[in-house]
Amino acid sequence: MAQRAADSGKVPRICLDDGTHVECSGGDADACAGCERPPDLHISLWSRDNGYPALVRLARDLAAEAPPASCRPVNEPSVAARLADSAGHQHPDLLLLYDDLACLPDFPPWQLQNAEVFQIGSAARSLGDAMLCALASYAKIERRWGK
């Protein structure tokens, strides 16, 4: 993606998102939100707090907001929208798992449904080289969504 932007004469824009703050290359901190051109690469930093603990927080919030003696239905779209708002992350295309154990229960399954997972051991010498390797591997993947 960044190569296409470079080939067209544009400077590739990279956005880094930790769920509370967005930083973009070549601009100010809020440049990603109001920009006419989407970033060429959007990087989100997740932790184990974005998985099961997020579900627990959501359940507590929904229970606290429900009026007494009311049985307002809770459906999948409303919960999914609430989870997206609470985490602040987009659905990833690529997940770089920086851990020795390939264990995903701590990550939000509702956002990993179509993600390619690339594991980087915590003993990796260079995180930058490992990320470039993962991006090169991902660039070769052909995704078929079916009908």
Q: What is the pLDDT of residues 112-142, one digit of tens each?
A: 777 888 887 766 677 778 778 888 888 888 8
* pLDDT value of position 112: 73
Cα gap 55→108, rounded to integer Å = 9
The verdict on residue 129 lying in a domain is no
pLDDT digits (tens, 9 = 90+) for 56-114: 777 788 777 767 766 666 677 767 667 665 555 567 788 777 766 666 666 666 667 77
pTM: 0.53
Predicted confidence (pLDDT) at residue 4 exceeds the cutoff of 50: no
The verdict on residue 31 lying in a domain is yes
Predicted confidence (pLDDT) at residue 47 exceeds the cutoff of 70: no
The verdict on residue 4 lying in a domain is yes
The verdict on residue 26 lying in a domain is yes
Cα gap 77→75, rounded to integer Å = 6
| Number of domains the chain is built from | 1
The verdict on residue 51 lying in a domain is no
* pLDDT value of position 2: 46
The verdict on residue 115 lying in a domain is no
CB 94 within 8 A of CB 138: yes
Closest by CA to 37, choosing from 7, 9, 10, is 10
16: confidence class by pLDDT, cuts 50, 70, 90: low
The verdict on residue 57 lying in a domain is no
Top-confidence residue, 28 or 62: 62
Chain-centroid distance, C-alpha 101: 20
The verdict on residue 7 lying in a domain is yes
Domain that holds residue 3: 1-45
